[in-house]
Amino acid sequence: MTYFRTKHKIGLVMKEKIERAIFGIECPKCGHDRLYKLDDDRYKCSNCKFKYSPRKLNDDLQVTLP
Ligand SMILES: [Zn+2]
């Protein structure tokens, strides 16, 4: 029972992290909270220069957590 609870909690944390990344609140790679929105609707982290598409992250989220 404890195992399942722990697993569920990790899943929730990951979901929140991905959601923050989708809205451009937090970098999914380094956790930095200053992101720039690019012309092609992607976000770029000002700290680690990581670029990502929030739409693709959203698709990944659906696959990971149906
Ligand atoms: Zn970053």
What is the predicted pLDDT for the residue at 2? 52
Q: What is the pLDDT of residues 21-58, one digit of tens each?
A: 999 999 999 999 999 999 999 999 999 999 999 988 87
56 C-alpha to center of ligand 1: Å? 17
> What are the extents of the domains in the chain?
2-64
5 C-alpha to center of ligand 1: Å? 30
Chain centre to alpha carbon of residue 23: 9
Asked if the model's pLDDT at residue 10 lies above 70, the reply is no
Asked if the model's pLDDT at residue 19 lies above 70, the reply is yes
4-25 average pLDDT score: 79
44 C-alpha to center of ligand 1: Å? 8
**H-type alpha helices, 1-66:** 2-22, 54-64
Asked if the model's pLDDT at residue 13 lies above 60, the reply is yes
26 C-alpha to center of ligand 1: Å? 8
20 C-alpha to center of ligand 1: Å? 13
